[in-house]
Every structure is written in C-alpha cells, then in structure tokens.
Structure 1
Amino acid sequence: MTRSTRRTLQVTGMGVAALLALSACSSDDSADASTPSDPSASSSSSSAPKLSGTVTVFAAASLKESFTTLGKEFEQAHPGTKVTFNFAGSDSLAASITGGAPADVFASASPKTMKIVTDAKGNATEPATFVRNQLEIATLPGNPDKIASLKDLTKSGLKVVLCDKTVPCGAAAQKALDASKLKLTPVSYEQDVKAALTKVELKEADAAVVYKTDVHAAGDKVEGVEFPESADAVNDYPIALLKDSKNTETAKAFIALVQSAEGQKVLTEAGFLQP
C-alpha cells in the first residue's frame, strides 16, 4: 500500500469516527434530558467508610431531650450504629471521665467543666462551643406566688431550689445573684438541673433557677419567669471527642450532626441559643 493510499484511509476513518461521536453525543444529550444521573456512581469511590458500632456520649443533663432526639436521628441515618447516653451534672461527668469511665464524646454545660477533662493528660481533642443556654425561674403552674423577678425569690417563706454551685447551672445562678447583690438561702442544692426542676414539678419547692431549655421541656408542669440578670450569666456548651474513644469515626460523625444545621435546628427548637 502506498503512502497516499494509507493517508486517504486515515482521513476517511477520522471522518467516520467524528460522525459516530456526534451521533453518540446527540443520543447522550437526549438521555440526559429525560434520565437523572446516578449520584452514587460518581461518589462511590470517594464515599466515607460505613459507620458502625456504639458511641457513648457523656452529656450535661440539660441536653437530655435534644440529644436523645439527635441520637435517634443518627441511628436512623447510619444503620448498624447505636448512641448511648450518660446524662448528669457536668462536674460529675468530668470526674467520671478523668476517673477512667469509658466514653467517646463529652458535651459539657460550661467551659470550666470541659477544662477539667482537657487538662487531664490531654484527655480530649480541642473543644468547640455548639450552643449556649440562659437561666430562667421555674415556678408552680399559674405562678401562685406571683414571682416576677430574681429579687422575689428572697421572699420569706418561699421554698427555692438551686443547682449546686459546682454545677454549671448553679454557678450561673450564683453569678446572677452576686451581680444583683442578692442573698438567697435555698431549701436544697441539687446535683443537676433536672433534679432542681423536679422539685418544683413535684411541688416540693415553689421555684427553682434552671435553664430556659428545662422550662421548655417541662411543658405545663411549670411556668417560666424570665429575669434580666440572666443575660450576664449565659453558659457556653462545648463538645469534644475524647482521645480514649474506641469508635473515633462514628463519634466524629455524631459531633458533626450536633454542629450541623439539622442538629442546630433541634437544639434551638429546644430553647438553646446559637453559639
């Protein structure tokens, strides 16, 4: 075969190939217009590994309702996972973690209690504030004692309950009282905010200084009274992955859900403030 003949065949072949390519493009365009692409086809190679196993979350008592909701959402989104919770006063949780209690995530009601954990041999990754919470007075339904201010809690004969001063809600309440130059002797100091609220729900106390989120969660069992001094005693809530976690990737994914728009929606609907 001569060189000119080979060149003619090459040109002819290129022309046929171009026609075939145009035909294919036309066919693909019509298919694209009627059939959506499969997103999993392009992302399968870069998709995250399947999450599995149990994540143990130690969380402040005031997070009980919202975190329980998020835990269920997480399990539904990731079949094969389970989120278990330990809800209590942040100081008690910090003591348990530093004492060796197995946990993957710590969500505290104050930076101070989180610092107890992070200072213990670098026991956690860098914490991040995910919500804030403000105090409110919880009274009996209908507010029969006509409590309208923080000062009203000092009335003689009124049974008031506070969180213990070592607990974030108690420390915040004391800060508000100090700022107002008020002295209050409660009938009891409780170890977490839920215990303080329960005293009012059971009518064992006339009022308690708790978080807005707890008043919200209690529904018609109590009545909430806002007071301006609470704006000076707002608590930041940090969350951290514990370095001793046995299920790091799944724990990270739960923290990501808490910080996501979806997680923030659940938390703000419960009464928490944006960080």
Structure 2
Amino acid sequence: MRKFRGVVPSLALLLALLSAVAGCGVSAEEDDDTLTVLAAASLTESFREIGDRFATANPEVDLRFNFQGSSMLAEQIRQGGAGDVFASANTGMMDKVREAGAVAHGPDTFATNRLTVVTPPDDPAGIDSFADLARPGASAVVCAPQVPCGSAAEGVERNSGVRLRPVSEEDDVKDVLHKVTSGEADAGLVYVTDAVAAGDEVRRVDVPDADQVTNEYPIATLDGGGHQRLAQRFTDFVRGEEGREVLRRHGFGTP
C-alpha cells in the first residue's frame, strides 16, 4: 500500500501556522466594525442623515444609533452602558460622563441650538408669544428641569420674567413635540431643530429671549467602547464640512 508520509507533517505545519496567525491577535476594532453612537433625541433627524453619508464614505462600518434624552444616555454611560460615541444636547450631561472617567477623547462642541414655541397648525389657543403659554386656559408642555431642553426653558423663563405652569414635563424634547402634534397640548417649548423637522405639522412662534439661552452640543469618543479609531473617524466627520452642512440645514447653529 502506498503511504503518504508527507501529509501529517504538512497538516501539522498548516495548523501551526494558523495558530500563529490567530495568536498574533486581531483586535476587536479590526474584527468588528460596529460603531454605536449615543445621541440626544434632538439630533435624530440630522444624525440619521449624517450617518447615511458617513456609511457611504465608510461602507465597512456598521453604524448604530441610540437616540434618547441626554440625561438618560449620560446615566446609562455612567452605569457602564455600551457605546463608542456620545453626543449631548448640553455641556452639563457631557461633564457628568467626563467626570465619571468615561471619555477617551474630547469633548468638542459641534453644534448649538435654541428653543422655540410650537403649536398645532390651526393654533386653537391663539398662542402668539412666549408669554401666551402662561395664559389661563392655555395648556403648555415643556421638558423636565433635569434634562437639557428643560434647563434651557427655565433660563428663558428667568430672562423673560414669565412663569410657566405646564400641564406636563417630558423626559425629552421629542415627547414634548408629540404632545403638540397629537393635539394633547395647545403649545410646547421645543428646539428650533425639532420645529424644522416637524415641518407643516406645527406652527412656530419665535422666542426672542431664547437667543440668550443657547445650548452647546458636545461630542466625545467613549473609553472602553473598543472602537476608538472608528469613533474618532465619526466625530471628525460630524465636525467636518459635510457634517456641518447637514446640521445647518436641520436648523442647528455651528461653532
């Protein structure tokens, strides 16, 4: 019987070579191109468009978004929640994440935003100014004080001397907007960008004092996410020319 003496040694050599290659190690970042971005609810529309453009330029990256109120996201990160990038609707929430030691690089301010009043298109309550929100019989909705849009609302109240008595306080600005578009409230205090996103679903009433209470939006890569190279590529894209163009078109100011 013919014997294939070379087969076993060759197989052993092949296995050894494969083992050596595996032993060299492929980092999680090189092996897994999934990038998780935690972003304020008010960034939903703009970041989805930025994400599409980023994906076109980086087809190998699987980009996933988690849009919630900044305070909720900050708490998730502080409790060890997974994520590679955090984009907050104000510096206060980012400071909490940074103080917890969760920031790897940044933060850098990439956008600004301010508040405006929105009503249903037919404006049944006749809301023509911020002061009208405090009028007896008018049902107004705002963000809760502990979230960025709620903190900004308190600033507008202080500057204008108008004290609101909202019928509800919501955890993020999208919930405020929904109360208005669904007809559950006569008016709501939301970001300009949310009014832009809602389009014909709402009527907008500018708030002069809102210019004095501008929210700065910082973005940072997170420590422990395992994809810092990709995370930095995304934050650079957001802060770059293409990202700024998208943000401006959605109503954000850019620093």
Q: Same fold (TM over 0.5)?
A: yes
- Runs of 5+ unmatched residues, structure 1: 1-49
Which of 136, 139, 142 is the matching residue for 2:122? 142
* SS in structure 2 of the partner of residue 127 of structure 1: strand
Q: Assess if the C-alpha contact under 8 Å between 2:102 and 2:224 holds in 1.
A: no
* Residue of structure 1 in register with 2:156 after alignment: 176
Q: Assess if the C-alpha contact under 8 Å between 2:103 and 2:221 holds in 1.
A: no
* Residue of structure 1 in register with 2:198 after alignment: 218
* Residue of structure 2 in register with 1:157 after alignment: 137
Which whole-Å deviations, capped at 9, do the CAs of 1:194-245 have from their partners, x for residues lacking one? 0000000100001000000000001111111101010111100000011112
* Residue of structure 2 in register with 1:76 after alignment: 56
Structure 1 residue 142, shift from structure 2 partner: 3.0
Q: Which segment drifts farther, 144-153 or 196-205?
A: 144-153
Whole-Å separation in 2 of the counterparts to 1:262 and 1:183? 40
* SS in structure 2 of the partner of residue 126 of structure 1: strand
Structure 1 residue 90, shift from structure 2 partner: 0.4
Which of 73, 76, 97 is the matching residue for 1:117? 97
Count residues with an aligned counterpart: 227
Mapping for residues 34-45 of structure 1, pairs under 5 Å: none
Whole-Å separation in 2 of the counterparts to 1:239 and 1:55? 15
Q: Which runs of 4+ in 1 moved over 6 A?
A: none
User: Structure 2 vs 1, CA of residues 153 and 75 (structure 1 numbering), >3 Å: closer, same or farther?
Assistant: same
Structure 1 residue 150, shift from structure 2 partner: 1.1
Which of 198, 222, 243 is the matching residue for 1:242? 222
* Residue of structure 2 in register with 1:271 after alignment: 251
Structure 1 residue 123, shift from structure 2 partner: 3.4
Whole-Å separation in 1 of the counterparts to 2:228 and 2:106? 14
Q: Assess if the C-alpha contact under 8 Å between 2:102 and 2:222 holds in 1.
A: no
User: Structure 2 vs 1, CA of residues 72 and 145 (structure 1 numbering), >3 Å: closer, same or farther?
Assistant: same
Which whole-Å deviations, capped at 9, do the CAs of 1:159-215 have from their partners, x for residues lacking one? 100001011011001110012222111110000000000000100001000000000
Whole-Å separation in 2 of the counterparts to 1:60 and 1:51? 28
* Residue of structure 2 in register with 1:29 after alignment: none
Structure 1 residue 115, shift from structure 2 partner: 0.2
Which whole-Å deviations, capped at 9, do the CAs of 1:131-150 have from their partners, x for residues lacking one? 00011001110333222211
- Runs of 5+ unmatched residues, structure 2: 1-29
Q: Which segment drifts farther, 144-153 or 95-104?
A: 144-153
Structure 1 residue 106, shift from structure 2 partner: 0.3
* Residue of structure 1 in register with 2:241 after alignment: 261
Which AA in structure 1 matches 2:37? V
Structure 1 residue 79, shift from structure 2 partner: 1.6
Mapping for residues 191-206 of structure 1, pairs under 5 Å: 191-206=171-186
User: Structure 2 vs 1, CA of residues 170 and 239 (structure 1 numbering), >3 Å: closer, same or farther?
Assistant: same
Mapping for residues 52-71 of structure 1, pairs under 5 Å: 53-71=33-51
- The Cα RMSD (Å) is 1.6
* Residue of structure 2 in register with 1:95 after alignment: 75
Structure 1 residue 51, shift from structure 2 partner: 10
